[in-house]
Every structure is written in C-alpha cells, then in structure tokens.
Chains A and B, each alone.
Chain A
Amino acid sequence: MNDSKKTILVVDDSELNRALLVDMLESDFKIIEAQNGLGAMAALVEHEMEISLMLLDIVMPEMDGFEVLAMMNKQGYIKTIPVIMISAESGGSVIDRAYDLGAIDYINRPFDERTVKHRVMSNFVLTLKQKELSEMLSEQIYEKEKNNSLMIEILSHIVEFRNGESGLHVLHVHTITDFVLKAIVKKTNKYGLTPKDIRLIDNASALHDIGKISVPSEVLNKPGRFTPEEFEIMKRHTVEGANMLDNLPFHKDEALVKYAYQICRWHHERYDGRGYPDGLKGDEIPIAAQAVSLADVYDALTSERIYKPALSHERAIEMILNNECGVFNPLLLECLKDIAPTLKKELEVISFGCASEDSIDESVRQIMRTDGNEISSRTLNLIERERLKFKYLADISGEITFEYIAAPEMLKLSDWGADVLGVPSNILDPLNNKKWCGIFRRDDFDDFIKRIHATTPEHPVATAKYKLVISGEERWNKVIAKVMFGGDTEAPEFEGAICKITDINDEVITLANLEEKAERDQLTGLFNREAARVRISKLLTESNGKKYALAFLDFDDFKQANDRHGHQFGDETLIEFARRIRANIRANDIAARVGGDEFIIFMEYKDNVEAQVARIHKRMTGDFKGFYIGISMGVVCADENCIDFDELYHKADVAAYSVKRATKNAYKIYNDSLSELLGDDGE
C-alpha cells in the first residue's frame, strides 16, 4: 500500500453514524462523507478515481442504498469500487439483495470499532489488490492491443520483404478476412464468432506466412516452378510458422496467438482434405484458417507476382468459385459472392498509412463494445472522455493544437487544426513535408525544434513567434510548446511536445504600428532623431566595406516662410521638403527630421561623394509655391576613425553651419580645417 492515505466514501443520512465511522477510521483513511444517495453519486462522479472503498447505509432519504447500488451497477462503478453495506437492517432478504447488487460485505449496527476496522481493512486490502491488478491488466490490455498491432506489422513486413511480395498483401488479407468473417456471421452462428474473435483473427491473419522466414530465399523467391523437393521445403512454412508461435516464451495462451497458430498451420489445407500439412477435411479446418486461406488465394490471384501477372477481380472470383485454385467450404464461397462487389471497391482504396490507423481505431472501438472487458473499456472510456474534452476545448478555442513526437519524428494535429491548415492530421517527417513547410517555413520550424530541444524538465515551455502561411495568408503566430519528458528524473528523455498555435497577427501589427508611430515625425513621416540614431548606429557598426556619408540639412530663412505665409504654409513647405528627400534617396538610406527645420540624410556612396551630394542638394532646393527653398548642407563621410553617430552628426552640423555663415544654399563636405568650429556651440 502507498504511504498516502486511501479514501473511503461514507454514505449515511445520520450525522452521528457518519461521525462514529469517521472517528473510527480517520486515523488510517481519508474520509469523504455523503448524507444520502444523491450525495453519494455526486461524490462518485467527482472523486471516482480516488475512492477506494464505500460504506453505504440502506435507509436514507432522496436515494436509498439499494438505489445507489443499482445506479453503481448501471454506470459501472460497482466494478471498481467495493461497497460495504452498513445498516441496522439485519433481515436475510435485505442482505441478500445487497449482495445481489454487488455489495461485497455487510456490517451490522451497532458499530463495534474493532469489527468496523477489521472489515474495512480486510476488504480494503483484498479489493485494493484486485483494483491494482485490474488497473495493471487494463493498461496491459490497452498496451497489448498496441503491441499486437505493432508486433504483427513488424513480423509481417519482415516476411514480405523476404518474399518480395508487395507490402499490401498483408493489409489486403487482413481486409478480405474481415469481410469474409463478417459475411459468415451474417449467414450462420455455427462458428460462434464474436466481434472480438473477428478482430483477433483479422489481426492474426497478418501472421499467416511468418513460417516463410525459415524457407531459404533461393527457394522462396524462385521465379520458375518448384521441383518436388523445393515444394516440400516450401510447404514446411505452415508447420514452421505454427511452431514459432508455439515456442513463444510469453503470450502463448492468448486468443490471438491461438488463432495465429491455426492460421499459420492450416491456411493451406483444402476443404476436400487434399491440402497440407495435415490433410484436414471440411470443418476440421478451423474457420480462422479457412477464411485466411480464401483471402490469401484471392489476393495472390489479383496481385502481380514474379511468376505471373495480376488477374482481374472478376477472373479471380470466377477461378475460386470454380475450384480452380483449391477447394473451399461452399459456405465461404457463398460469402465470397456476397462480398465480391465491396471487395473490389475496398481493395482499390486500401493504402498503407490509413490501414494501421484504422485497424487500431477499430480495435479500440471493438474493445469498448466487447462484453467481458469492462475494466479495459472503462479505462478506455475515461481516456476517450478526456480526449473528447480536450478536442472540444481545443476546437472552440480557435487555436490550432498539435503534438510533436520526437521518434519517429511526426506531428499529430487536432482535427480542427488540420482542417484549418489544410494538412493531414498526421504528418511524418514534417521538416521534409512540403505541405507542412508551405505553412511553417522550414527554417522557422527547424528553429522551433531547436527551441523545444533546449528546454528542461524544470522549464519545459518554449514560446516563439513565426510568420505562418495559413489559408494562403502570411500571418504572425505565436507557437507555445510544453515539452514532455520520459525516462526518470536523473536522465530525462525528450519525448515530444504539446504545441499550440495562436494567431497574434493583429497584435503584432498593432504593436508594429505603434512602434512605427513612435519612431516617426508626425508632420513629415520621416524618422525622428532617436530612431535615426539607432538605425544609423547599427549600420555603422556592421558596415561591411560599405561607405556612408551623413548629411545635415538646414533650411535657409525658414522663419520667413512662416512669417510671410503663416504656419500652415511653413508646415506645407516642410512636408514638400520631406517628399523631395524621399524622392531622392535610395530605399536603404535613412532620412530624419531632427529639429524644426533641420534634417539629416544618411546614405551609402560609391566613389564620389561630392557628385552625389551635389545632385541631392540640387534636387532639394528650388521654388515651392513662390517660396524658394534654400538649404545649407553639411556632409561628413564615415571612416574607420569615425563610426560614432553623435560625432558624425556634430561634424555634419558644423559643416552645414559653416555654409550658413558663408553663402547659404550650398553644401560643404566636412574636413579637418573646420575642426576649429567644433566645440563651438554648433549653431
């Protein structure tokens, strides 16, 4: 038992009775109380997985103890939660009824502390063990389903690779067998086939040729006719396969293995007794082997082999019905006729990917349908409920969720997400999947994978923003991943991640707009000084052999424009000037308004900076609505001695100032002779 206390649900309408029981039990157990049947049901729903034992009174208002038991039967709780009845009712019929309804023990009032403790303890230990066992078992059943499919897939593929048969053979045989068996059940129940049997036989059918592993490949893959000796060797694959299953160290007694044995050994028997290896006749041949045998022959006929071309569906059916390829049970031939139209259609659409997925799905559904497997279906129900809940929440949230599985590398998307993205729900090897990379750029996804690999069990969440192409539109999305680790705490193993994609395009755009606004001069739309400084400094530091110059432009007599024509006109002039700047610089150049009538241009130049400056100056200046725009322009070239924005800015300013003091409306390239002006106030 765990050191943590187990939980007991005490249901009694008398507060005193509950208090007595609590008093007796609380040192050893955690107690949940309910004061009538309804409360008990509510507690069961809420605490089902915690409750290890239930003490249940019979006479209660709302819903009495028998009704609770009946409900527990109906909803399946009775199978996982042991119930001890408590009551002063001691009539034999009452006790019988409680036992009939699934109670496991009965405690009479008045309570005797030792009796209560003893009964609870012993039942508890007993059922706890059962419960733990059944939990283990249900996990195993679930695991087993997976393992079986996996084992079957692996084994059958090995055989096929060696056989040189198409990998589809096993899938086809699986499907045909399924059809045949279901058709048999429709006609007769003399074979007593349950849905579970059919599922097991379908799965076991994949193993029909495992014995071929023991056949030398020269024989196995011989294109021509077998010699009698070779045929004898070939025939041995039936017995060899059966022996392999017989020699399994585990799972030997499982129904699946038993069916597989029958199929391996007897799928070459003939209904007339002339088959091999044992010459069984009629229904001596187990129905599983008969069905697989028929499926095997049909698929062999309709598939291409080294020694023969593929026959048409119609021809194959005809040959089988005419006993040209063995002799079959007439009942099975009837079934074959029944399923012939479906067979043709279904086998055309069968392909690898979906088949195993389908069969797993089907297995899960079948387990849930099958009686006698309550524990397992209960677990599966719970899992299914959680899955539906998660799916629903994922879908209504408008977020795309997916699971990233590390090995084999694949993505599993929510159905809704897959729909929105227009991709399949399962994507193998996403980095090389064109559809996926059309949405999530390969480099970005690679970056994302690196990020999730960089997480730790302590910090398992990674977040990043990427531009994803969804429905043909490129939008910003945030991807959040919670990484799952397996292994133990000492050596955690990266297993994959649960991820969520959220569209944040609108936020990003808004933010970008705000940022942009903050960086721009409102009147002219040019950068402000700070934004220009950041950008220019960046270019200066990363300058890879490029030559840059900074120009400082100062309006001449701007005051007159304002004074003579009003502020409105002054603004218009500035806007016009900004337009001229934009029209005369290149996309990578940076222009900013740094003061009322002062601007800077940061530009790349090739060889002759003076020619470029002269050209710009010429185009900037000139008449605007009767006002002559004249510019005093100072220019400084950045070189390895001077890559500091503030220094360049100051020098360009000084050069412009020298122009202003001299002629106005001209430009000057800064040189050291102007350095005496540095240190002046600059204006």
Chain B
Amino acid sequence: MTVKECYDAMGGNYDEVLSRLRDDTRIAKFLGKILADPSYELLVTSIANNNAEDAFRAAHTIKGICLNLAVTKLYGSSNALTEALRGKSEITDEAHKLLEAVTNDYNATIDSIKSLQA
C-alpha cells in the first residue's frame, strides 16, 4: 500500500499533506505516531467517566493531529466533538453521539495505517 492509497482508504487529503510535509517517508512516520497516541483511549475513558474537561483536551489533541496530517475524515468528526465539549462541565448526549462517529473514523484510520505499515 502506498501512502496515497492509505489516505484514500481513511478519507484523508494526500495532496494537502504532501504539500505541507513534502515527503512520503516523513508522512508515513508520523502516521505511525497516531497509533501510539493515547488520546483516543483517554477520550473514551473521559467520556465514560463524565470528565468533560479531559475529554475536550483528548478530542482536541486528536483533531490537532488529524489537522497536521490532513486526515480529513477523522478531523471532521473529532472537530465536531471538540466543539461539543468545549467549555462543558459534563458530557452531553450530543457528545456521546459524536463519539460514535469519532470511533468509526478512528478505527478506519487505524486500520488503514496498519495496512500501510504491513
């Protein structure tokens, strides 16, 4: 699998990331970091524990990473969740719903990156 194919599979914008990071190897290296980043686990636990503040930061981090790497689809859902959590003191129903979308996109993203690395 090429980096471009990986981006197509997970709904990312390959042209954009290439223009910014300018190198397939570098892009692949940083995609690997998404696998290692604990934010998604933190997000899930925080929402389960009704900790809106931590959940906001976790969602925000995921959004930031996706933005950097032009992982557009996951960026979209994590951005929506981030905004839903911003300034909140507890987890809303909306946030629970948005988490489902994030989870779907996250899993798709992880699977694609794992295939790229395989």
Chain A residues with CB under 8 Å of chain B are 13-17, 19-20, 23, 59-61, 87-88, 109-113
In the complex, 15 of the A-B residue pairs with CB atoms within 8 angstroms, ordered by the A residue number, are A14-B39, A14-B61, A15-B37, A16-B34, A16-B37, A16-B68, A20-B21, A20-B30, A59-B57, A60-B57, A88-B60, A88-B63, A109-B64, A110-B69, A112-B20
| Closest Cβ–Cβ distance, residue A181 to chain B (whole Å) | 55
Q: Which residues of A contact B70 (CB under 8 A)?
A: 110
B22 touching A17 by the CB < 8 A rule? Answer: no
A14 touching B26 by the CB < 8 A rule? Answer: no
User: How many angstroms between the C-alpha atoms of A19 and B54 in the bound complex?
Assistant: 22
Q: Which residues of A contact B63 (CB under 8 A)?
A: 88
User: How many angstroms between the C-alpha atoms of A488 and B39 in the bound complex?
Assistant: 56
Q: Which residues of A contact B21 (CB under 8 A)?
A: 20, 113
> Which of A19, A88, A113 is in CB contact (< 8 Å) with B64?
A88
* Residue B88 interfacial (CB < 8 Å): no
- A109 in contact with B57 given A16-B30, A20-B30 (CB within 8 Å): no
| Closest Cβ–Cβ distance, residue A265 to chain B (whole Å) | 66
User: How many angstroms between the C-alpha atoms of A23 and B16 in the bound complex?
Assistant: 18
Q: Which residues of B contact A16 (CB under 8 A)?
A: 30, 33-34, 37, 65, 68
> Which of B36, B39, B67 is in CB contact (< 8 Å) with A109?
B67
| Identity of the chain A residue whose Cβ is nearest the Cβ of B32 in the assembled complex | A16
A111 touching B57 by the CB < 8 A rule? Answer: no
> Which of B20, B29, B60 is in CB contact (< 8 Å) with A110?
B20
| Closest Cβ–Cβ distance, residue A41 to chain B (whole Å) | 19
- A113 in contact with B37 given A14-B65, A88-B60 (CB within 8 Å): no
Q: Which residues of A contact B16 (CB under 8 A)?
A: 110
User: How many angstroms between the C-alpha atoms of A15 and B19 in the bound complex?
Assistant: 22
The B interface, classified by DSSP as helix, strand, loop or mixed, is helix
User: How many angstroms between the C-alpha atoms of A15 and B34 in the bound complex?
Assistant: 10
**Binary A-proximity of B13-52 (CB < 8 A = 1, otherwise 0):** 0001001111000100110011011010000000000000
B26 touching A109 by the CB < 8 A rule? Answer: no
> Which of A13, A17, A23, A61 is in CB contact (< 8 Å) with B26?
A23
Q: Which residues of B contact A87 (CB under 8 A)?
A: 64
Q: Which residues of B contact A112 (CB under 8 A)?
A: 19-20
B22 touching A113 by the CB < 8 A rule? Answer: yes
B68 touching A17 by the CB < 8 A rule? Answer: yes
Contacts A13-B61, A14-B61, A20-B30 aside, 10 further interface pairs with beta carbons under 8 A come to A17-B65, A19-B30, A59-B57, A60-B57, A61-B57, A88-B63, A88-B64, A110-B70, A111-B20, A113-B21
| Closest Cβ–Cβ distance, residue A425 to chain B (whole Å) | 56
User: How many angstroms between the C-alpha atoms of A23 and B30 in the bound complex?
Assistant: 10
User: How many angstroms between the C-alpha atoms of A60 and B64 in the bound complex?
Assistant: 12
B42-90 contacts to A, CB under 8 A, are 54, 57, 60-61, 63-65, 67-70
| Closest Cβ–Cβ distance, residue A499 to chain B (whole Å) | 56
User: How many angstroms between the C-alpha atoms of A609 and B60 in the bound complex?
Assistant: 108
A20 touching B57 by the CB < 8 A rule? Answer: no
| Closest Cβ–Cβ distance, residue B24 to chain A (whole Å) | 14
User: How many angstroms between the C-alpha atoms of A17 and B69 in the bound complex?
Assistant: 10
B67 touching A88 by the CB < 8 A rule? Answer: yes
B76-110 contacts to A, CB under 8 A, are none
A110 touching B57 by the CB < 8 A rule? Answer: no
User: How many angstroms between the C-alpha atoms of A339 and B31 in the bound complex?
Assistant: 77
B68 touching A110 by the CB < 8 A rule? Answer: yes
**Most chain B beta-carbon contacts within 10 A, residue among A16, A60, A109:** A16
Q: Which residues of A contact B22 (CB under 8 A)?
A: 113
| Closest Cβ–Cβ distance, residue A209 to chain B (whole Å) | 70
Q: Which residues of B contact A19 (CB under 8 A)?
A: 30, 33
Q: Which residues of A contact B37 (CB under 8 A)?
A: 14-16
9 cross-chain pairs, A with B, having the tightest CB-CB distances, nearest first: A112-B20, A16-B33, A110-B67, A110-B68, A88-B64, A14-B61, A109-B67, A16-B65, A59-B60
